[in-house]
Chains A and B, each alone.
Chain A
């Protein structure tokens, strides 16, 4: 069953949470080197809090279209100063506010912008891309952005307004400063042995080669070369995953039955049947 969950919460599947955390971990050296950091499409802040590691010593500008998510993120992200901003990233006026607040947060020092899994949700991403490139070229700001590789599986995610894959990434790259850095996020699979209930830290070695990426990360601006590439692994909580998947399956079956019931009751000429089909 496809997973169209677009907000990272504590219930999100571990593999997806790790994917999100890795992107923040990759950007962490750039974020920590900056006096101000804007996280565009911050969501609940869960992935940022886990991925950045140590508390951030600058001003974190947490930006999202969802006010409740921004509030949650402000509570979770550990930073010297946290500034919430509710903004529509397709709106030029809102983008101007983002820029103004980011520049005001660190008038002199370095700045960083992270923008993970946002672009594909926007009806028009041209103004956002323009802002990111301007910040990198004119305002001493490093940018790390990501887009999914939906094209490989031909996924038609109902939440994604645009289709992303290798071709679209090439189009995007042609708009970025020539010295941008491209990294391909690849999926890992593994297994481990546990003895008893003791919790312990293990270090695994993994050979990373080219392959089909799940996501593309693009970094540009003065600190782009600092993008980290260390992998991130987490133990899968199968009990939680099973509970979550079964809940979705049963919810779906329940909703379908309810729809059939409603359709039958709203059709005066046709009495309902068990399977919701034509009674003849």
Chain B
């Protein structure tokens, strides 16, 4: 099969890494011809993902000239370019319900939700997404393909070392500036601990992270470096609010680390409270600290959780197995009749225009809000009300007219 996966870029991110892994398995194990189509102009050098050598990487302009058996969007904004490609079938690889990444009122929120209703075949990596889409789109079959784990990189130890003493070694990973990753909350929770601990924060931008709590702030790390860090750690701490398949704790499991996590979407697939990890409440930093203190004190419990975390990892599929399910899902999509997609391309073009207009309105609103703040300050100045009343006098209006452009500029 000739397959096209649409990506915005090839920068380091979990979602892009997943697509590259699937694409590599489809090309190397299943003999498909796979192209990664980059929908945006690339301003940075791509991250050196392993496996890119087996794939074609093209821009949208080159890809438009070709014909594919299946074209697959991998992020809601890439759906705008999906129907620009010539393909027998169109599909979406849904890695999260992406409207949740945006705050209320953000123009992207409604539009990303709208793309979930496109007349395309759907593959997703998490069961909670399968269940949600089944309710939203009961007529559309959703193929379920879990992400694999690179078992060579996250190579599990044969036996687990018992760690009876030393500080509890904790890892928090994620971008601190992305609100739903909860990195700052996790770090604050560690700050509330009373038992000895060692905290490492892994982030792509360590220079921008300021907190006195972590003992080390590192990153960006390659997958192999991350695996080594997990192997030296006892606990992966996650305070995420939105996750798709929720890979990082599972990578930690492979290296013998347990997890303390919020009940974020995706955790239910493999985290079992009291068995292979601990699940803590939302917005409960002190409660999280108490759970971490418990693990620091009760090394028997820590070893029990780490043992079961490692066992959970052993039964998780490799990328080779995940690639086989992806190959089977794509074969099923090719075999099934194509959904009627007439008008989808136009719909997306209209929606994109609407998005840009909406963004313009938001920008205008924010500008006006600044004006309003300045005006409110001016009104509170002594004598301002009298002065504002006086400006309505015809003579004052004539005298002030030449100053209006200057006033606008100052307010801006």
Binding site for B on A (CB under 8 A): 124-126, 129-130, 133-134, 150-152, 154-156, 162-163, 165, 167-168, 170-175, 178
Contacts and interface: CB of A to CB of B under 8 A. Distances in A.
Given A126-B327, A130-B335, A151 B315 contact: yes
Contact of A174 (B141, B311, B321): B141
A154 B158 CA distance: 13
A152 B275 CA distance: 13
A48 to B, nearest CB: 26
Interface in B109-128: 127
A175 B142 CA distance: 9
Interface string B293-335: 0000000000000000001101111100100110111011001
A125 B328 contact: yes
A178 B332 CA distance: 13
Contacts of A133: 332, 335
Contacts of B143: 174-175
B130 A174 contact: yes
Nearest to A155: B315
A230 to B, nearest CB: 30
A171 B315 contact: no
12 contacts: A126-B30, A126-B324, A154-B311, A155-B315, A162-B317, A162-B324, A167-B270, A168-B321, A170-B127, A172-B325, A174-B141, A174-B142
Interface in B136-179: 141-146
The 6 closest A-B pairs by CB, nearest first: A151-B315, A154-B311, A126-B328, A174-B144, A126-B327, A154-B314
A178 B270 CA distance: 25
Contact of B315 (A124, A163, A174): A163
Contacts of A134: 335
B329 A174 contact: yes
A178 B134 CA distance: 12
Nearest to A164: B315
Interface of B: 29-30, 127, 130, 141-146, 269-270, 311-312, 314-318, 321, 324-325, 327-329, 331-332, 335
A175 B324 contact: no
Contacts of A130: 328, 331-332, 335
Contacts of A151: 315
A151 B146 CA distance: 14
Contacts of A171: 144-146, 325
B258 to A, nearest CB: 15
A201 to B, nearest CB: 40
Contacts of A178: 141
Given A130-B331, A170-B144, A150 B324 contact: no
B328 A129 contact: yes
A156 B146 CA distance: 19
A124 B145 contact: no
Given A154-B314, A170-B127, A175 B329 contact: yes
B408 to A, nearest CB: 59
A210 B334 CA distance: 36
A163 B328 contact: no
Q: Most B CB atoms within 10 A — which of A125, A126, A130, A134?
A: A126
Nearest to B327: A126
Contacts of A165: 315
B335 A163 contact: no
Contacts of A152: 315
B267 to A, nearest CB: 14
Contacts of A168: 146, 317, 321, 325
